[in-house]
Structure 1
Amino acid sequence: MNNEDRNKIRSTRVGAQHRRRNKVIRNWIIGILGVICMVAVGVGLYARHLYSTAEQAANKAYDQENAVKTTYGEFNGKKPFAVLLLGTDTGALDRTDKMGNTDTLIIVVVNPKKKGYTMYSIPRDTMADMVGDNSGDVAKINSAYARGGAKMTMQTVSDLLNVPVKYYALVNMGGLMKLVNYVGGIYVTPPLTFTYSGFPFKKGVKQHLNGQAALAYSRMRYDDPKGDYGRQLRQREVITKLVAKLATTASLKNFTKIADNLSSNVKTNLSFQVLKSILANYSNCTSNASSDYLQGYSAYIDDAAYQIAPTSELQRLSNKIRKELGLKTATVSNRETELNKLNEANSFDFTSGQTQTYKIYSSSTTVNEVKEKKDSKSSSKKTAASSSAAAQSGTGTNAGTYSYSNSNNSISSYDTNPFSSGGY
């Protein structure tokens, strides 16, 4: 065998080795790609499952009756928007005979420029004109939902503060607290020491809360010196901490439970398409939260305890919300501001620390009429006082027979605020 033949054989063997090596490498590559493809398909199927679950939950919670047509680019991640958050403990969102009162009312403004959101609380006992029934009647604002559903509630809140309110989300607070369990609980730092429903809370001490404890923490009102204002503060804290936990990837493991819970305990006129846009374009707005509230003053209306918001406070909160929404400020002028003028003409003092009587006048009453009636009463009191003094001295024409009772002071013994000791 000559050298040429030997080189050919050697070349053939080397080529075979290269071909075998390349085949092994090719098989490894194909195998790796296969695994990657399988994982990708699995993730895709899981993502598709999550999407389907979310869509079903959103459709079940969707309130078609109060649907709002959205404009192009409304939720593009650049414009702020507002949602009215309503909280109820009825647990029967689909039963009109048990709609209940919404003791939690919070206007949530999502602001992409600040990369955060602000919660503006409205006290449950705030006096408000029930917009939509054309009666001109006022009532506690938490009764608007029971009277006229989500539509009346949105209209009433919108008119009270002169801000646009198109979207809402009604949440059963009891159901919402189940979410706390699904996300592994939350941490809070109580602003005061108290015990409620068997759960102890200590001021300034950070503690972990499960769902039941979180519900107790957000419900207590009467043992708080700030009353309902203190409860609002704790509710906003719980909501903020819950939103932060829901926004984490760790919540995906309980995604189905979370979705089922939301579909059973939430009603909203935000469609699934809108919710998708919010999730895609405003996801960076969940970590930064701030809050404010409407500060009212205690008063009695027909022996019922109310919170009356002065016109200056209504204007302050209106200006703040409108600015966040990119709107020009506008004067708040409504049934509440009219009643405030009439009551101030009748000596109602918003700077007083006393619980006073607040009167509901007819819509045709003028400030001059109130002042004239007030002056007439004042003159009558002076005449009665003179007659009483004369009777006691024996110089009056009806000495010893006249008695005077000031019916306007019938609740003057209420000299403490039944709701709170003041603002924060």
Structure 2
Amino acid sequence: MKKIIITITSLIAVAVIAVIGIGGYAVWTTHGAIQKMHQPSTAIKKTDRVDTLSRHNKPIAILLLGTDTGALDRNYKGRTDSMMIAVINPQKQQTLLMSLQRDTPIYVNGQMVKLNAAYAYGSADSSIQQVEKLVNIKFNGYALINMGGLESIANSIGGVDITSNLTFTEDNISFTKGETYPNLRGTRLLMYVRERHFDPQGDYGRQMRQQQVMQAILAKARRHVSTIFNQGFINALSSNILTDMSWNSFSGLATKYRAALNNIQSDQMRGTGAMIGGQSMQLMSQSEKDRVHNELENALK
């Protein structure tokens, strides 16, 4: 079973709806899609939610989660093998993407487990709570995607142009570093963002490709707005994503946060490998936790 899920589609759900803006038939279609995706969170206070902050044009932090389930039947249980934080700041007109390491050790009910297990032990709320402890910031929203979402969304917009940052072969599909692959989609796109075994940087290298593909999809959406008006794209979003952000949240993003998506900066929380209790973990030093916290705090100012 394909276990590596691409969190990037979660931000696409947030960002692309902001890109298309508000108007006519698209409003009605998008409103229905958002209603289908909506699943409230109890871990975020009402005063801290995107609904509230977007009214006042304030920066927001969203936790992006990708589960390792393969079905498209709304069964979202599993581990979140991909995790990112997106800070969207309309005042600075900047967006920061911070990738998290799934093998970071945490404690659940007194037991040490990996960060990606927080969702399996509870819900999106438990993931929010654990990541808040890790990076010491408060979230304003979350978005969760199941397996298949990236492929469906990329296919619905005709694929994206990607210049490979690595030479490798995955499941008989090959890529060459520096070569550009136009309209990359489907299985080839999944292979590109899933690869980590032949990457000298392992999961960290895969995170960089995830962020690369996310930015490519957002760039295409900005250049070709018509590509995201199609029903296939809307269906791909609503069939693969759950989020606590409501129609009011997205309409606020559309009117006030669009410019922040033109300037996306990327970062990663990096640890040191260690075997603990027979499990491969990534230990985060206090200095790295402090660095990541400061980066996120600065992005939120």
Shorter-normalised TM range: 0.7 to 0.9
Identify if the C-alpha distance between structure 1 residues 211 and 93 changes in structure 2 by more than 3 Å, giving closer, same or farther: closer
After TM superposition, give the deviation of residue 254 of structure 1 in Å: 4.6
Alignment of 1:199-210 (within 5 A): 199-208=173-182, 209-210=184-185
Alignment of 1:13-412 (within 5 A): 47-66=23-42, 69-70=46-47, 74-76=53-55, 78-92=57-71, 99-130=77-108, 135-208=109-182, 209-252=184-227, 254-326=229-301
After TM superposition, give the deviation of residue 233 of structure 1 in Å: 0.6
- Does the Cα contact within 8 Å between 1:77 and 1:278 map onto a contact in 2? no
- Does the Cα contact within 8 Å between 1:77 and 1:282 map onto a contact in 2? no
Residue number in structure 1 paired with 2:5: none
- Does the Cα contact within 8 Å between 2:41 and 2:124 map onto a contact in 1? no
Identify if the C-alpha distance between structure 1 residues 253 and 63 changes in structure 2 by more than 3 Å, giving closer, same or farther: closer
Identify if the C-alpha distance between structure 1 residues 262 and 313 changes in structure 2 by more than 3 Å, giving closer, same or farther: same
SS state at 1:222 partner: coil
Unaligned runs of 5+ in 2: 1-21
After TM superposition, give the deviation of residue 192 of structure 1 in Å: 1.3
Identify if the C-alpha distance between structure 1 residues 288 and 137 changes in structure 2 by more than 3 Å, giving closer, same or farther: same
Query: Following the alignment from structure 2 to structure 1, what is the Cα–Cα distance between the partners of residues 130 and 217?
Result: 28
Q: Give the alignment's Cα RMSD to 1 decimal.
A: 2.2
After TM superposition, give the deviation of residue 73 of structure 1 in Å: 5.8
In terms of fraction of residues, the more strand-rich structure is 2
Query: Following the alignment from structure 2 to structure 1, what is the Cα–Cα distance between the partners of residues 293 and 118?
Result: 20
- Does the Cα contact within 8 Å between 1:245 and 1:251 map onto a contact in 2? no
Structure with more contact order per residue of length (Cα contacts < 8 Å, sep ≥ 6): 2
Query: Following the alignment from structure 2 to structure 1, what is the Cα–Cα distance between the partners of residues 243 and 87?
Result: 16
After TM superposition, give the deviation of residue 163 of structure 1 in Å: 0.8
1:316 partner letter = R
Specify the structure having the higher radius of gyration (Cα).
Answer: 1
SS state at 1:316 partner: helix
Q: 189-198 or 269-278: which moved more?
A: 189-198
Identify if the C-alpha distance between structure 1 residues 73 and 49 changes in structure 2 by more than 3 Å, giving closer, same or farther: same
After TM superposition, give the deviation of residue 255 of structure 1 in Å: 2.6
User: TM-score normalised to the size of structure 2?
Assistant: 0.85
In terms of fraction of residues, the more helix-rich structure is 1
Query: Following the alignment from structure 2 to structure 1, what is the Cα–Cα distance between the partners of residues 37 and 65?
Result: 14
Identify if the C-alpha distance between structure 1 residues 68 and 248 changes in structure 2 by more than 3 Å, giving closer, same or farther: farther
Q: Deviations over 1:257-277 (max 9, x none)?
A: 111111110000011111111
1:62 partner letter = H
1:52 partner letter = W
After TM superposition, give the deviation of residue 139 of structure 1 in Å: 1.0
Q: 83-92 or 162-171: which moved more?
A: 83-92
SS state at 1:286 partner: helix
2:140 partner letter = K
1:313 partner letter = E
After TM superposition, give the deviation of residue 114 of structure 1 in Å: 3.2
1:323 partner letter = N
Percent of matched pairs sharing the same residue: 37
Report the count of equivalent residues.
276
Query: Following the alignment from structure 1 to structure 2, what is the Cα–Cα distance between the partners of residues 85 and 55?
Result: 21
- Does the Cα contact within 8 Å between 1:119 and 1:292 map onto a contact in 2? yes
- Does the Cα contact within 8 Å between 1:183 and 1:251 map onto a contact in 2? no
Q: 253-262 or 265-274: which moved more?
A: 253-262
Q: Deviations over 1:173-198 (max 9, x none)?
A: 52122211222211122221011133
